[in-house]
Amino acid sequence: MRSFRTDLHIHTVLSPCGDLEMSPARIVSLAIKHGLDIIGITDHNSTKQCELVWKLGKRLGLTVIPGCEMTSREEVHCLGLFEDFDALKEFQNFLDLHLTIIPNKPSLFGYQAVVDEDDYILEEQANYLGASLDVSVEEVEQKVHELSGIFIPAHIDRPRNSLYSQLGFFPPELKVDALQISKFANEKIVREKFNINSEITLVKFSDAHYPEDLGKTYTIFEMEEPTFTEIRKALLRKDERSVRIP
Ligand SMILES: [Zn+2]
Ligand SMILES: [Zn+2]
């Protein structure tokens, strides 16, 4: 078994709150510089920058998992990660169908740019990506799993936009592959506070919006190789795979 430094919650310049410096090329070079082995790209309610980060990562030997940070109707943030671009494309259709239409005001909400590998802007997203989807957190989870993706409620310890802050409880029907805690959270304290049983894996990711956030926060995945299948096994602690928050 090998150890992989993994951070599966990173925003690019496409997220309205993502720094303009968070271009695909910059993210890949910073991830490598800081010794990360696997990163996940999870912009708010859009997947449109994933493929380029994946391509640049592949060139330099960095594993990039395409994904998204969705905002459910209840304003719960959750991560969806996908194995391939067919699933990702289908998930993008789901996002396009369900995103509440609010025209973006860059001066107010921030820029939402899709850029190329030289950081040139290819297009700006017209609808505000920080808006919520018109579906429940359970419906989002079902869609992610229907596409064989990984579903992880985001920053569950935070007082806003988390499962517990928005719903006040863990929905019994919700099937999670893990729960993500935020960078300053303590795993043991979070487990006790929210009464999370030991069957559920906790992971810690950066939720990086700025270059300086990258590389400091990660989870160690103990598995055979840096693939989507192995990541899922590690989260579910199958076949002796596991994860560990350093
Ligand atoms: Zn979030
Ligand atoms: Zn985030």
Q: Which residues contact 141 (CB under 8 A, 6 or more apart)?
A: 78, 151, 174, 175, 176
| Residue 151 alpha carbon to ligand 2 centre in Å | 14
What's the pLDDT score for residue 155? Answer: 98
| Rounded Cα gap, residues 220 and 117, in angstroms | 29
Q: Structure tokens of 207?
A: 């939720």
C-alpha 150 – ligand 1 centre gap (Å):
16
How many angstroms does the Cα of residue 22 sit away from the middle of ligand 2?
Answer: 13
pLDDT averaged over every residue in the chain: 96
Decide the pairing of beta strands 77-81 and 63-71.
antiparallel
Quick one: which ligand is closest to 18's CA?
A: 2
Which bound ligand lies closest to the C-alpha atom of 75?
Answer: 1
| pLDDT reading at 20 higher than 90 | no
State in Å: Cα 228 to ligand 1 middle: 22
The answer to which of 17-21, 27-31, 85-89 has the lowest mean pLDDT is 17-21
Residue 105 maps to which CATH number?
3.20.20.140
Q: Are 113 and 121 in contact (CB under 8 A)?
A: yes
Q: Which ligand lies nearest to the CA atom of residue 77 in the structure?
A: 1
pLDDT of 178 over the 90 cut: yes
Q: What is the pLDDT of residues 42-66, one digit of tens each?
A: 999 999 999 999 999 999 999 999 9
- What is the per-residue burial (b if ≥16 Cβ within 10 Å, else e) of 110-129? bbbbbbeeeeeeeeebebbb
CA of 145 to the centre of ligand 2 (A): 20
Structural domain boundaries, residue 198:
2-244
Q: State whether the Cα torsion 118-121-127-128 is positive or negative.
A: positive
End-to-end C-alpha distance for the chain, whole angstroms: 17
Strand arrangement, sheet containing 219-223 = 150-153, 77-81, 63-71, 38-41, 2-10, 219-223, 242-244
Residue 236 has pLDDT above 90, yes or no: yes
Cα torsion at 88, 92, 93, 99 (round to 10°)?
150
CA of 225 to the centre of ligand 2 (A): 26
With 90 as the cut, is the pLDDT of residue 196 above it?
Answer: yes
- Nearest ligand to the CA of 78 is 1
How many distinct structural domains can be found in the chain?
Answer: 1
| Distance in angstroms (rounded) separating the CA atoms of residues 169 and 87 | 30
Question: Is the pLDDT at 7 greater than 90, yes or no?
Answer: yes
Q: Ligand 1 centroid vs 1 CA: distance in angstroms?
A: 32
Q: Which pTM was predicted? A: 0.97
**Distance from Cα 239 to the centre of ligand 1, integer Å:** 31
* Model pLDDT for residues 219-232, shown as the tens digit of each residue: 999 999 999 999 99
DSSP assignment, residue 245? -
Does the pLDDT value for residue 18 go beyond 90?
no
